[in-house]
Amino acid sequence: MIILLKENASEQQLNDLSRWLEEQGVSLHATKGLHQTILGLIGDTSRIDIGQVMQMEIVEDVKRVQEPFKSANRKFHPLDTVVDVSGAKIGGGGLAVIAGPCSIENREQIHCVAEAVKKSGATFLRGGAFKPRTSPYSFQGMQGAGIELLLEAKKATGLPIVTELMDLSQLEYFDDVDVIQVGARNMQNFELLKQLGRLKKPILLKRGLMSTYQELLMSAEYIMAGGNEDVILCERGIRTFETYTRNTLDISAVPVLKKLTHLPVIIDPSHAIGMTEFIPSLSLAAVAAGADGLMIEVHNDPAHAKCDGQQSLTPAAFDAMMQKVMRLCQAIR
């Protein structure tokens, strides 16, 4: 349920109403706009009598919110959420670019890629240390040692870092990580999401291979319900009948999610298409559709990458793509 207050509502009236609502067993999320305050009610609102609320002096209108996602709902929070990582922003009109290797392999590799992507305009560095691989016999990532190397690259470049946490047992390594990624395969690991909701750290939540928008938003809701409102949604391709590409990029996710939610929405074309050749086209499409950011895999030696080499751009190819992306941004934003 959302309550729109009249323009002249006083602070005292707002406090009285908030107290009364909380006594009815719901929690509140207030958005104070220039002219109007909106109160979002979270919890069981079935006991609240809309007629009674409508009659209150400071109330302009009351609406029931049909969608099961509340904190993530744009109706609760009309303005875009901007996730700010020490000045590097995701959401709010700019374009965040998260770039780096699929997995951290050694010191030279991560430093080389970090310096290169920074030079080309990336705003965040990515790199996996705990890797969710389809085969248990594939490289599983450098684990804690990988995070150490990523932190070194962060220090050297000043780029904030994004890396995936697969299990809560790994949390001890994430103290200095700026953004925690929840991978597609873990999107509905609800226990993990609940625990991440208690942290004060942005969470990049990737859409599951077969998840609907509503399921993605409900997963975001799990994190937000714990008090952590810095959630970034990432469309990374879904599984369809098409086998030519690794997955199918669902570009509709950008405008649809941005209508449904105030959370930033980014696109990962690398995992969506799985082939370097098409990544620039998909990146441009994402920017044109209004995405808040891109996540791109870059490797200094893709042919010998331990993971996802076929979809990893070389630093030179990334640089060429970034020039086009920046030109498009200037033209349309």
Nearer to ligand PEP, 9 or 122 (CB): 122
Amino acid at 188: Q
| Residue carrying the six token digits 């409900």 | 218
144 binds, among Mn ion, ligand PEP, none (CB under 5 to 8 A by kind): none
Contact residues toward ligand PEP (CB under 6 A) are: 102, 128, 132, 183-185, 206, 236, 271
74 binds, among ligand PEP, Mn ion, none (CB under 5 to 8 A by kind): none
132 binds, among ligand PEP, Mn ion, none (CB under 5 to 8 A by kind): ligand PEP
Nearer to ligand PEP, 40 or 264 (CB): 264
Least Cβ distance, residue 236 to ligand PEP (angstroms) = 4
Contact residues toward Mn ion (CB under 5 A) are: 102, 308
Residue nearest to ligand PEP (CB): 183
CA dist., res. 315 & res. 300, Å (int): 6
Nearer to Mn ion, 229 or 308 (CB): 308
Number of neighbours of residue 241 by Cβ within 10 angstroms: 5
Residue nearest to Mn ion (CB): 102
CA dist., res. 13 & res. 188, Å (int): 40
CA dist., res. 93 & res. 202, Å (int): 18
Nearer to Mn ion, 3 or 294 (CB): 294
| Residue carrying the six token digits 């949604």 | 233
> Two tokens at 241?
């009948």
> Two tokens at 257?
């999610």
Least Cβ distance, residue 185 to ligand PEP (angstroms) = 6
Least Cβ distance, residue 162 to ligand PEP (angstroms) = 9
CA dist., res. 166 & res. 111, Å (int): 24
Nearer to ligand PEP, 45 or 312 (CB): 312
| Residue 302 per-residue DSSP state | G
Phi-psi region of 141 (alpha: psi -120 to 50; beta: other; left: phi over 0): left
Nearer to ligand PEP, 53 or 233 (CB): 233
Among residues 221, 243, 234, which one has the least CA distance to residue 286?
Answer: 234
Least Cβ distance, residue 1 to ligand PEP (angstroms) = 35
CA dist., res. 327 & res. 333, Å (int): 10
141 binds, among ligand PEP, Mn ion, none (CB under 5 to 8 A by kind): none
